[in-house]
Chain A
Amino acid sequence: MKTVRLLVGTTKGVFFLQAPAARTAWQVEGPHLAGRAIYSLAHDGREGRRRVWAGAASMHWGAVLVPTDDWGRTWDEPQEANVKFPADSGLALKQIWQIAPGLEDEPDTLYCGVDPAALFRTSDGGKTWEVVRGLLDHPHRERWQPGGGGLCLHTIVRDPGKADRMWVAISSGGVYRTTDGGRTWTARNAGIRAEFMPEKYPDFGQCVHKIVQHPSRPGRLFAQNHWGLYRSDDAGDSWQDIARGVPSDFGFAMTIHPHEPDTVYIIPIQSDMVRVAPEEKLRVYRTRNGGRSWEALTRGLPQRHAYDIVLRDGLTTDSLEPAGIYFGTRNGRLYASKDSGASWRVAIDGLPSITCVRAVVVDEGKPARRAKARPAARR
């Protein structure tokens, strides 16, 4: 029997929601890792795993990556912090913004993106993590500037057909691409406007909030920028403005349909200075033609006195048909659509401020491969 599990990160811990594939009613449980801010969650289903990774940050005790193999019944809290900057960098980890399992044929590889902006990689399933030197030592680093969330590397996109090609997005540094497995990185921001800089089209320094890619078309990327919506058809070499027909091109969240590579969803925000839903209407916008036009999806969403906004990883999809679309707001409300966005319902209200949402379709009749037991410290 297939079920959908939603992994919901909040400023106060992790919540798990579960529903049958019909997605009509949701059960919630949590918080796990209570009290810690969870800005990143990922499910790793490779090789039969059912592992969830959480990037858990305590204001007091720092940030670590914590996995669970049993939907939160036990967490394998590391004794030693597992993501650490090398001494010669002089940097100290503040937050883990993104966790990205590697490709199917590299089942023990994962990446994570952090604040201060850097990329870490493990090739032993998460036992040890190493910083990706090519980006850590990039000459642009000294001119990257933190945004409101810090200087974060928040997006990691792999090319499923070319293991050495990868994109990352940094706020604010822009989009960077490697084609040699992370040894060298090139800024790929041509055509992306930096509204907040005197030079409007610099090589780097843009504040890209999220980039998405459909695995069937890995060379085409969509970007939600700090002002601006863009598409690249040449793997990031150039970007075209696709912000036609949206109430604001400022926003954070962006996701792509699991089966339709031309279908992208965003949730606009009024402006950088007034971060509420535009015109006090909570609307998801969808393009079904690669950004040539956008339509508002409003059925079931508040169209008066709406102040909710959605952060960069607060919008996601499942892999069912029709696709489920989900988003969580900073006001702690989680909306779910089981019809690709045509209509919406509140799955749960009253959570802490939601920072990230991930959806996983699980075949509950299929046993998971159990990880080797390791002593776990709970807190």
Chain B
Amino acid sequence: MTRAVFLIPTPLRPFADGRSRIEVHVAKDPPALADALEALWDAAPGVRDRVLTEQGEVRPHVNVFIGTESCRWTGGLATPIADGAEIAIFPAISGGL
């Protein structure tokens, strides 16, 4: 089992029972970000459609960081996850319309 901790941004906490951190355990070995996210959806189903489009892609104005690196630069949803990884979901700095 690989352990990972998700950091949930404030706007999504209503879909995560108010939690700011959710620990998940991923059975698949070796695990990828997509596997960790599946475990997150099990724990907080309402978060899924806010982070991913219905086509399974990370929304264009959402960033998912594994440690300090955005998954956009590390292989996207296929990015490998190490045991103890901290995965942070952030709204991008877009807005103002």
Contacts and interface: CB of A to CB of B under 8 A. Distances in A.
Interface residues of B, number: 22
Contact of B54 (A11, A58, A81): A81
B59 A61 contact: yes
Interface stretch (A84-92, A284-292, A297-305, A331-339): A84-92
Nearest to A90: B55
B68 interface: no
A23 B33 CA distance: 56
Nearest to A83: B54
Interface of B: 11-12, 14-15, 45-46, 48-51, 53-55, 57, 59, 61-62, 91-92, 94-95, 97
A377 B15 CA distance: 7
A61 B62 contact: yes
A132 interface: no
A59 B50 CA distance: 10
- Main SS class of interface, A: loop
B59 A87 contact: no
B54 A60 contact: no
B61 A79 contact: no
B55 A62 contact: no
Given A11-B97, A377-B14, A62 B46 contact: no
A378 interface: yes
A259 to B, nearest CB: 38
Given A61-B12, A378-B14, A91 B55 contact: yes
A379 B57 contact: no
Nearest to A92: B53
Contact of B97 (A37, A62, A80, A81): A37
29 contacts: A58-B11, A58-B50, A59-B94, A60-B59, A60-B61, A60-B92, A60-B94, A60-B95, A61-B12, A61-B50, A61-B91, A62-B53, A62-B59, A77-B14, A80-B48, A81-B54, A84-B49, A87-B54, A90-B55, A92-B53, A92-B54, A92-B55, A92-B57, A93-B53, A377-B14, A377-B15, A378-B14, A379-B11, A379-B12
Nearest to B97: A11
Contacts of A377: 14-15, 46
Interface string A54-76: 00001111101000000000000
A79 B94 contact: no
Interface string A104-143: 0000000000000000000000000000000000000000
